Amino acid sequence: MLKIRFDSEKALEAILYVASKAPVPDIYHVGKILYYADRCHLERFGRLITGDEYKAMKDGPVAENTYDIIKIAQGKGRFIPNGIEVEDIKSALRVYEKAQNYRVEPLRQFDDDVFSDSDLSCIDEAIERIGHLSFGQIREMSHDEVWSSANENGEIPLEIIAASCKDADKLISHLFSGR
């Protein structure tokens, strides 16, 4: 299985970016926007934006480490992804509980210097594509062949995500050539 390096600082900035721009900045929308941004970026540029790993959770694919950052901000996290401190997370964002629709609130401006132009383009495209959709619409959309390829709560291998992209054979070859 293909593994890449997760960039926790970039993931925090990506959460802040999406939460500051998405029409519905809740946990679900932020996570799914980043998932579709990653798929877009993988297909067009041959890499994920933050290098996260995905799991097939009951409501669709979830970026495992990014979700851990969100859970820490929510006060529920136990696992701290490599390279980031709890205080950095808690001073950057707040995640509200169910009564406030699990809204993700940036407590500071995102640092767009960590992103390439292609990163921002794909994130903006994902915000435009799904940011306004309902939970149910996104859930249905995300329960595709990529999600169904894994057991519930199981890892979705990067090569499975890549196989769903245009020119999958070339993309998979590119991903394995960089090992």
pLDDT tens figures, 120-152: 999 999 999 999 999 999 999 999 999 999 998
Q: What is the 3-state secondary structure (H, E, C) of the chain?
A: CCCCCCCHHHHHHHHHHHHHHCCCCEHHHHHHHHHHHHHHHHHHHCCCCCCCCEEEECCEEEEHHHHHHHHHHHCCCCCCCCCCCHHHHHHHEEECCHHHCCEEEECCCCCHHHCCHHHHHHHHHHHHHHCCCCHHHHHHHHCCHHHHCCCCCCEECHHHHHHCCCCHHHHHHHHHHCC
Contact 59, 19 (CB under 8 A): no
Structure confidence at residue 1 as a pLDDT band (50, 70, 90): low
Instruction: Please tell me the distance from the alpha carbon of residue 149 to that of residue 87, in angstroms, as a whole number.
Output: 36
Instruction: Please tell me the distance from the alpha carbon of residue 163 to that of residue 52, in angstroms, as a whole number.
Output: 17
Please list the residues that pair with 55 across neighbouring strands: 62, 155
pLDDT tens figures, 34-69: 999 999 999 999 999 999 999 999 999 999 999 999
Contact 33, 61 (CB under 8 A): no
pLDDT tens figures, 75-90: 987 777 777 898 999 9
Instruction: Count Cα neighbours of 102 within 13 Å in the Cβ-side half-sphere.
Output: 12
**pLDDT for 80:** 75
Signed CA dihedral, 117, 74, 32, 63: sign only: positive
pLDDT tens figures, 7-29: 999 999 999 999 999 999 999 99
Q: Which amino acid is at 140?
A: E
